Amino acid sequence: MKFLFPAVLLFIFFNLQGVFADTTSSEYTKALMEIQNKNYDGAISLLTRYLTLYTKSKEGFFQRGNAYYEKGDYNSAILDYETASELEYENPELYYKLGLAYLKRKDYQGSISAQKIAIWINPDYAEAYSELGDLYTQVKNYRRAQDYYRIAIDLEQNMPHVWLKLGETSLALNETGEAIAYYKKAVELKPNDINYYYSAGLAFYIVKDTVNALNFLNKTIELDKNFAEGYYTLARVYSDLKNYSSSIYNYSKAIEVEKSGLSPSVLYTERAIVNKKYGDYANAMNDLDFAISVNSDDTLAYLTRGKIFLEANNDSLAYEDFRIALELDSANPTGLTYMGMLYLSRGQNDSATMRLKRAVELAPKDANTLYAMGNLYFNQEKYQDAIRYYDKALSADKDFIAVYENRGIAYYNLKFFRQAASDFENAMKYNPALSDKLKPFYLDAKAKGGL
């Protein structure tokens, strides 16, 4: 009997080991269900117990890596994916997911390498080609990105998100015709998805293709009358087209949408800017007052209201709004420009010079800022310097017609009569109200210039 006891123990031990193995194996199945149910902590706990017994389980490390990835613990995910790789788990999805995890850590080269291994294992893995396209898009290698997107499409035609990305890269390469075709294919595959129409419309708006922008954006409104982003972007397109009534209408529609997620102060401020351009100063002021009431840090609202006060010759209120705007953003070139103009009108040349020079540093291609700097030198009778900045203003904006009057006077005072006559003629052409003031100088300049 003394030998029976150890034998019984051995029997019990081996049978318990089998029970333990069966229990752990069932935990693996439960873990997969927990991943499906998005209970990632539960899945990780079950898989960790499973891996204490099955230490070489390639699939176990892969699945725990997936749970970590979905949880947002990308470092732990990468460790598990790399362990599965070291165990020679030749599954293309492993490397696809490893590439995504590397990307979360902004390791672009690691991500590219992982995706290339995925397509080496499975040359027909369309999603990996698509991801490589995304990676090259992020580093602005659009031609290389297109190559990968096209391979993905060749493998799987029904991938609307890839057609959309082909459209985006084509626009980045100024291939507008191809972009239109790709966007149309994307929306053909997902005809009721607002986001596809909106992405296309927004992209065309960015590259100033307003016809296609309007076509795609209007489709978003047809699909959903409460799509605030569609109204908002349409408002901006119409504003650029100087169709101010349509712009105001679409801003108003965006404002009417409850819980749109769009900033009320931005909507009201931008609608105010369009109302101002439309000549409706009363509604512009109402919008600005409301924008400031809901967001006292709305720099653009103060700047816009200050401009309206300035145009109404209410310099004290304009000064106060520009002062507040600069308190909110001391490096705002528009605020510095208008504050400089106010100081210039008061004869405070040192204060004007300091602000205008800083504005030019911050916005060297802003026509209004360059014009204001030209006026500073004009007031100091430094006419050559004034002309230099007036020329820069016109180079920045060929339609900045305010330049012609003062540049003509500067040329006249320097006795460059032919140039002066040309500027006076343009000034009166664009603003007939200047005729009484400038016509005597114009006729005199023509006579002295032998014209």
- Secondary structure (H, E, C), 112-130: HHHHHHHHHHCCCCHHHHH
CA neighbor of 298 nearest in space, from 252, 340, 341, 329? 329
Q: How far is CA 78 from CA 63, 98, 185, 189, 337, in A?
A: 12, 6, 36, 35, 52
d(CA 122, CA 368): 58
What would the pLDDT profile of 46-58 be if each residue is shown by its tens digit?
999 999 988 999 9
- SS3 per residue for 58-109: HHHHHHHHHHHHHHCCHHHHHHHHHHHHHCCCCCHHHHHHHHHHHHHCCCHH
**CA–CA separation, 333 and 336 (whole Å):** 5
Specify whether the CB–CB gap between 303 and 338 falls below 8 A: yes
If we measure between CA atoms, which residue out of 112, 175, 172 comes closest to residue 142? 172
pLDDT bracket for residue 10 (50, 70, 90): very low
Tokens of 395: 């180079």
Q: State how far the alpha carbon of 229 is from the alpha carbons of 298, 308, 351, in Å.
A: 20, 28, 42
User: For residue 11, how many other CB atoms are within 10 A of its CB?
Assistant: 10
pLDDT tens-digit map of 317-340? 999 999 999 999 999 999 999 999
Contact, 402 vs 371, CB < 8 A?
Answer: yes
Share of the chain above pLDDT 90, in %: 82
Assess contact for 333 and 366: CB atoms under 8 A.
yes
Q: Where are the alpha helices (DSSP H) in 139-227?
A: 142-155, 160-172, 176-189, 194-206, 210-223
* pLDDT tens digits, 285-302: 999 999 999 999 999 999
Q: Is the pLDDT reported for residue 21 higher than 90?
A: no
Contact 264, 291 (CB under 8 A): yes
> In angstroms, rounded to a whole number, what is the distance separating the alpha carbons of residues 173 and 179?
9
Residue 17: which pLDDT band, with cuts at 50, 70 and 90? Answer: very low
- Which structure tokens are listed for 115? 């995706």
Confidence of residue 45 (pLDDT cuts 50, 70, 90): very high
What pTM value is reported for the model?
0.73
Whose tokens are 């209410």? That residue is: 314
Q: Give Cβ neighbours of residue 250 (< 8 Å, ≥ 6 apart).
A: 231, 232, 234, 235, 238
The CA distance from 2 to 15, in Å, is 21
Q: What is the Cα–Cα distance from 283 to 249, expressed in whole angstroms?
A: 13
Across the range 252-268, mean pLDDT stands at 93
Q: Which residue has the tokens 């101010």?
A: 244
237, 250 in Cβ contact below 8 A?
A: no
Average per-residue pLDDT for the chain? 91
**What span, in angstroms and rounded, lies between the C-alpha atoms of 98 and 56?**
19
DSSP labels, 242-266: T-HHHHHHHHHHHHHSTT--S-HHH
Q: How far apart are CA 22 and CA 37, in angstroms?
A: 23
Closest CA to 219 of 237, 206, 202, 201: 201
Angle at 64 between CA 62 and CA 68, to 5 degrees: 115
Give the tens place of pLDDT for each residue, 344-378: 999 999 999 999 999 999 999 999 999 999 999 99
Yes or no: say if 377 and 393 are a contact pair by the CB < 8 Å rule: no
State the pLDDT confidence band at 93, using cuts at 50, 70 and 90.
very high
163, pLDDT greater than 70: yes
Whether the pLDDT of residue 20 is over 70: the answer is no
Q: DSSP letter at 7?
A: H
Confidence (pLDDT) at 239: 95
- What average pLDDT does this structure show over 258-279? 94
Six-digit token string for 103: 């990307």
